[in-house]
Each structure stands twice: as structure tokens, then as C-alpha cells.
Amino acid sequence: MPADVEAGTTAHRPDESHSFDFEQDMDACYTAFDKDEDGLLDINEFGSLCRALFRNDRGQVYTVSPEMQADMFSVFDKNEDGFIDREEFAYCWTRWIKRIVRPVNVFLAVDVQNDFISGSLNISRYSAQQNGEEVIEPINALLDTVQFDAVFYSLDWHPSDHVSFFDNLAQRKLHSSSPVSFEEAKMFDTVVFEGPPQIRQKLWPRHCVQESWGAELHKDLKVVENSVMVYKGTNPEVDSYSVFWDNKKMTQTSLVSQLEQVNATDIYICGLAYDICVGATAADALVIGYRTILVDDCCRGVDLEDIERTKRNLVSNHGVIVNSSQVKAMVEGRDRRPELGYKLALELRNKEKKHKDGQQMEETEEEQQE
Ligand SMILES: [Zn+2]
């Protein structure tokens, strides 16, 4: 099954009647979709806009459910009068349409390091179908052919006394709630350390120790100019699956501020391991509010069931799973997925709500001061 169908999106026949050049200016766009020329966009006219916006690079239109369409419409009909007027459309144009047509695309290759490919945490040891080395060729091909606005590589980067290493078990006290005692604990068991911080931790073989061969990116992985390395798992007391935060969400990596600096809208995530660090990173990207795309053929994982669970989670949170062959058209704004448009609309609604709540709080404070 192709990845776009799996993600719940179906592209139908070409629908030239609604095609539109979004490179024109805002007024031309508004006028073009205001079919009844009443100076307002109603939900049906917004529907034609969606059909023009959400299509693939062959001009085929993606299905947008009536619920999704109504939801997005309500984000832009700010005064809730049932129409998007010109003022409301200005917001829709700059904050939504422009970003969908001209996304700022970031590529993130997660932990393509020796230890996960042929070293101590070699994922092919755990699943016969998974070989970490296979991600290198499609990742390199993507970096050769697609112009991303920024490229990041994350590295699992542990100090020698890291809490996740089985052979460090004796260095820390287990908490009374630990499901396994010190004497019984085996590799890959999950224990609870007393801390601080108190943490639930799976015990892994020693891997990706700072400055070791195992922590190096695989020698065949293409490292593009001006790319950025992001180091995670550097705190000896807390493990870090996501490239954004450690597992206790105590500390952020540099990735969060670096994405803000480039005004990223879309993040393409792939690498190792699919069901662990790639999955945790994609989940966090969605929580932060990025339009998040998993590049399926550029990922390999440990457990096949967990990989499927990772995919389901992503799709149910409005992320998209694609094959690397589909990335170029998406990055160039020629293949525009409704799930990602919907995600952006939801984020705009969240921001507005936060803004309003903030204003209300200020007003209440002022009242209290009076
Ligand atoms: Zn690790």
C-alpha cells in the first residue's frame, strides 16, 4: 500500500476546474474563489479553495472530509458570521495558504550512528527484517536531490557513566517501585532508579559513548555543508529518546531554538531507531506544533509491532508518512497534503486561544489591581 493511502489521504482525478495559481496576489485569489461575487467566502467557496490547495504534483485533488473542511473554515471565520471576509482572508493567506505553498523545510536524520548499525546496539540483532545500514542510501539520495532549508543530524551522545547502560546498574540505587530488583535485572529490563530524578529506564548495552567509534555517524552518510549536529543523552542521569527533550522533559536540546531561528514550518524525520528515537522525536515535533513528516523508507527500527504503533500514533496526530520519492514535490510545495494543512490550522487556533487567554488574564489582573 502506498504511504499516502496509509496516511488516510486519497488523491482523485485531476480537477482542472478548481486549479489556481497561488503565486498570484491575495486579492486575485480572493476574487477567484468568491464565485458568487458577494465579497465574502462561504463554506462552499472555501471548499473550492481547499480543492485547489490540497492536490499532488500531478494535479490530483486530495479528499478533504466535510468535518475537516468545516473545522478549518471556523479557524479563519474569526467573527463566526459564516463567512471569511477580506480581513479574515488576509490572515488565512499569510498564516496558512502561503505556508502551505511555500513551507520552510527542515530535514532531521536521527542517530545514524555506528553502534545502531553494526556496533553494540545493532538493530538487526533484534529483528531479522531490520538493517540500519539500509537507511543510508535513501537518505543520501534525498540530500542529493532535495533542497531543504536546514539539515540536522542528531547523535546519541552518552557520558561513560550513563544511566541507560546495563553495566552501570550498580552505580545507582533502584527505587522501591522498580518492577525488577538489582539482583534480577537483565539487559533490556526496565527498572526504576531512585534518582533524583526518579526515572523508569530500559537497560541497554553500553552504546554511543562520547568520542567513541560507536558514536560516530556512519562513514557513508552524506553530511551536507552548513548542517547542524544535535547531541542528546548527554546528562548521565536521564536518557533522551527524543531529539527535542530528555525523557523527563527537564532539558531541551539546541534543536528547538534552531528550528525557531530558521522559521521552520515542516520537519522531515527519519533514521534510527524507528520505534524509539525517531518515533519519540516525531511525537514531540507534533506536540510543539510542527507539520511533521516521517520518511518511511529512511527509517529502520527494533520491533515491528512498535514500528506500526509509532506510525499509527503519528497519523492520528495529523502527521504524514511518506516514501522518500514523494518528498521533493512536497518540499517544493507542489504536493500539498490536507493533513498538514489541517495541522497548521489547528496550531493557528491554539495560538489564538493562548493569546486570548493571555489577554483575559491581563484584564483580570488589571481589574484586581483597581
Ligand atoms: Zn542511548
pLDDT, tens digit, 9 for 90 and up, residues 150-197: 999 999 999 999 999 999 999 999 999 999 999 999 999 999 999 999
Cell numbers for 10: 486519497
Q: Give 178 Cα–ligand 1 centroid separation in angstroms.
A: 20
Concerning whether 354 is annotated as a catalytic residue, the answer is: no
Cell numbers for 330: 512536497
| Among 277, 284, 311, 335, the one annotated catalytic | 277
* Residue whose C-alpha is closest to residue 132's, from 110, 152, 148: 110
| Among 29, 232, 239, 270, the one annotated catalytic | 232
* Residue whose C-alpha is closest to residue 236's, from 164, 328, 139, 149: 164
Q: Please enumerate in sequence order all residues whose Cβ is within 8 A of that of 199, keeping only pairs 6 or more positions apart, or say none.
A: 163, 192, 193, 237, 238, 239, 247, 248
Concerning whether 25 is annotated as a catalytic residue, the answer is: no
Q: With contact defined as beta carbons under 8 Å apart, do 194 and 173 qualify? A: yes
CB atoms within 10 A of CB 219: 7
Q: Give 156 Cα–ligand 1 centroid separation in angstroms.
A: 5
**Consecutive sets of 10 residues in the chain, 370 residues long: mean pLDDT of each?**
45 58 85 91 95 93 95 96 95 96 97 96 83 96 97 98 96 95 94 94 96 98 96 95 93 93 97 96 96 97 94 97 97 96 96 84 72
Concerning whether 232 is annotated as a catalytic residue, the answer is: yes
Q: Give 157 Cα–ligand 1 centroid separation in angstroms.
A: 7
Q: With contact defined as beta carbons under 8 Å apart, do 76 and 40 qualify? A: no
Place of cell 521552520: 264
Q: What's residue 54's pLDDT?
A: 96
Q: With contact defined as beta carbons under 8 Å apart, do 340 and 326 qualify? A: no
Q: What's residue 6's pLDDT?
A: 42
SS3 206: coil
Q: Give 239 Cα–ligand 1 centroid separation in angstroms.
A: 7
Q: What's residue 2's pLDDT?
A: 42
- Domains (ranges, CATH) in the chain? 3-102 (1.10.238.10), 105-154+221-331 (3.40.50.850)
Q: CA 251 to CA 241: how far, in whole Å?
A: 12
Give the predicted TM-score (pTM) of the model. Answer: 0.91
Cell numbers for 111: 542517530
